[in-house]
Structure 1
Amino acid sequence: MLAMLTAIACDRNQGVDGTIKVGSKDFTEQFILGEMYALVLEDQGFPVERKLNLGGTPVAQAALESGQIDLYPEYTGTALLTVLKLPATSNQQQVYQTVADAYQQKFNLVWLEAAPLNNTQALVMTKKGSGKYGVKTISEMAAQASELTMIGPPEFEAREDGLPGLQKAYSDFKLKQFIPADPGLRYQILKDGQADVAVAFSTDGEINAFELVLLADDQNFFPPYQVAPVVRQETLTKNPGISNALNALAPKLTNETMQRLNYEVSGKKREPAEVAKEFLAQEGLLKKP
């Protein structure tokens, strides 16, 4: 009888192929979140394989659907617009429920609890640039777009929640130039004056560290981007403990917290795994030393 109970308990902590494969996309916040998910699960006794830095949204989504990974952090706004290609809305709960229902029906994927943080896309300028052009809102930026160079991730040029959507919402403006660049290069190029506007995320640590001006989204274009683990139903059914482990982390992740943690990596050049473990230990989310 004891042997049978032991076998059942062990099976509960086994993934589809004996491990939980944790993925992430290819930028700082995703590295940190991916490490957090992996560390929390390992602390609960799950064997984990890290498959971080997969690439952009289409790559991560395909890996999840095909079973190359079992879960990864995703944003509600990205799921709504990029994956599901549904209309944008600014209602956080409505967006979460819409994507959770659709992912279950279309992909057999489960959204766990979303964090309070809203890593919405944003546009920023230096204080000098903002003052020079008199720009503090996206409408004011759009009015002078033909004089301005914008820098951002390559996919921003094509995403519906990127440049095409902005142009529809803000008078079909035309930029002087758009520079596609690795996310890690945006802020230095902006500071060096090679671009006037940068595509940002509201949890980027550089916004406060560099005293940048966050342009007001006065047409409420950008949808909410709460983050949550998206998990294969097959994995979750076999490993129900995943839900409690990762849901305990969600309430700890606020905009202010992620700005600070992101800058530890992007600004201070610390390793994402080190930053993630330090935070989890401070918050009492790791039982093992």
Structure 2
Amino acid sequence: MFFTQYAPEIILRMGQHLILVAIAMTVATAIGIPLGILIARQPKIAQPILGVANAIQTIPSLAIFGFLISVPFLGGIGTTPAIVALTLYALLPLIRNTYIGINSVDPAIREAGRGMGMTDNELLFQVEIPLAFGVILAGVRVATVISVGVATIAAAIGAGGLGVFIFRGIASVNNQLILAGAIPAAFIALSADFFLGWVEKQLTQNRQKKGKFNRQIAVASGILILMILGLFVFANRPTAPTIAIGAKNFTEQFILGEILAQQIESHTNLKVDRRFNLGGTFIVHEAVKAGKIAGYVEYTGTALTAILKQEPIKNPEIVYQKVKQEYDKKFNLEVLQSLGFNSTYAMIIRGEDARRLKIKTLSEAAKYTPQWQAGFWYEFLERKDGYEGLVKTYGFKFTKPPKQMELGLMYQALKEKQVDFIAANATDGLIPMLDLVILEDDKKYFPPYYPIPVFNQATLQKYPELREVINELAGLITTKEMQKMNYQVDKQSRPVGEVAREWLKSKKL
């Protein structure tokens, strides 16, 4: 049942994954092998170049992707920075193995070649590279497997690929989704390793049968090149005008982004490139400002406190008008009408603890905080409407510092008693599923969090029909409907697109 529902998307994501790896490996090979040859010829620069390549390998992949977001031309979000990052990670084994392979050639063979009157180039291409080819190919093999694994992280910057399933599965505590990304990625890595291993074996066993081996390599290389070209052409085939819709890295955002995308596609001649799972608030905000995405759904309280750095305001209409005016003035972004529900912060504990301690409000919970371990995601700890203000308002006295973790991991950590107190959204479908309890914000600390579509003004000027199409959704999503949709995705493992389509049909849209 799961495979039937997700098979088309799995195939799509595998194609995206293959394209990312194929392009990155092509670029990395074109850079890495010549560099390896260069440092073999110029030993003085070998250590600095290998040192830089080694240093790149030590940087966590997520940090590389995050750094590239703000880099001009090669950065931002999408496939370009993903290919840049994958290329950087693939360089070390390519450079090192080429360098080692060429330096491992017996000096006597070189001398024999020179004695026959060979030039340096003839010696390189007719003697050294053929003898070092097995070692060089081993480097290509290692680099390819590394690229397949690292490419899963590319989903965090909207590059697609099988990491989309892994991040979505983590966000919804859904092992099936995680495996839907992990198993095909492992299959691609093993298949690539097997193929390149076969080529390497053929090289070793058939070195004496030069003509036969060369034909085998030529045929295999030709097939591989045709496959890469086919994937590239398919990915870049002419389509209708396309705009990108973004979303943050949790289930509710995937659903809201999909509702926007389907609404646009069904009411205009535009195609939508879905750039979901773009990390936290600041990544998507920078993406829409830069025009990397056309729009996404933000929350009024988040826009006011996290983006505009202003103090929380309780009145929903004042918050909306202030955000609308400031976004227009400061960022050239247009805030459209709210989609309806209030996705306020929810401070959550286990149901068994709430019943045992007989607590319903945050004020009642304050006296238990010295014994509790809190767990929050990184953004909540930094925001004006986050941890610091909450502790001050309610007088919380946590003995241990809060554990920092990804949003999707907090529920599982709470369920397994690794933490006792977390911050989430009131509309999350996992709350009833895991028998969790929302503590009432009895001092009204949190501002309103109404979902507002935020669009780049240049996009709206180019496609003015978008404004009316998106505003047709204004006020239509209730809190119960949002929680139900979150539950259907998180608990019932239904595809996001199917859930969004069903809701739109229920509203006759």
- Please indicate the TM-score interval, normalised by the length of the shorter structure: 0.7 to 0.9
Q: Which has the higher contact order (CA 8 A, sep 6+)?
A: 1
Which is greater in Rg?
2
In the TM superposition, what are the counterparts of 1:1-289 in structure 2 within 5 Å?
18-44=241-267, 45-171=269-395, 173-285=397-509
Give the whole-Å Cα distance in 1 for the aligned partners of 2:324 and 2:446.
19
Alpha carbons of structure 1 residues 132 and 247: separation in structure 2 relative to 1, 3 Å: same
Q: Give the partner amino acid of 1:250.
A: A
Number of residues of Structure 1 aligned to a counterpart in Structure 2: 269
Once superposed, what is the RMSD of the aligned Cα atoms?
1.7
1:114 and 1:222 mapped to 2: Cα distance?
A: 18
Secondary structure, counterpart of 2:283 in structure 1? helix
Partner of 1:252, secondary structure, is coil
The whole-number CA distance in structure 2 between the counterparts of 1:272 and 1:136 is 33
- CA drift at 1:71: 0.3
Cα drift, residue 175 of structure 1: 4.7
Which shifted more, 229-238 or 183-192? 183-192
Letter matched to residue 58 of structure 1: F
SS in structure 2 of the partner of residue 125 of structure 1: strand
Q: Secondary structure at the match of 1:251?
A: coil
Amino acid at match of 2:392: K
1:52 is displaced (CA, Å) by 1.2
Kindly state the Cα deviation for residue 177 of structure 1 after the two structures are TM-superposed.
4.2
The offset of 1:41, in angstroms, is 0.4
Counterpart-to-counterpart distance in 1, 2:373 and 2:322 = 35
Unaligned stretches of 5+ residues in structure 1: 1-16
What secondary structure does 2:447 align onto? coil
The Cα of 1:34 is off from its aligned counterpart by 0.7
Name the structure where helix makes up a greater proportion of residues: 2
Cα displacement (A) at 1:208: 2.8
**What is the CA–CA distance in structure 1 between the aligned matches of 2:277 and 2:464, rounded to whole Å?**
26
The alpha-carbon deviation at position 111 of structure 1 amounts to 0.6
**Which secondary structure state, in structure 1, belongs to the residue aligned with residue 402 of structure 2?**
strand
TM-score, normalised on structure 1?
A: 0.88
Q: Is the 8 A contact 1:24 1:34 kept in 2?
A: yes
Q: Normalized per residue, which structure has more strand?
A: 1
Secondary structure, counterpart of 1:144 in structure 2:
helix
- Residue type of the alignment partner of 1:240: P
Q: Residue by residue, what CA displacement relative to the aligned partner does 1:85-137 show, whole Å, maximum 9, x if unpaired?
A: 11101111010011000000001111101022000111111221113334321
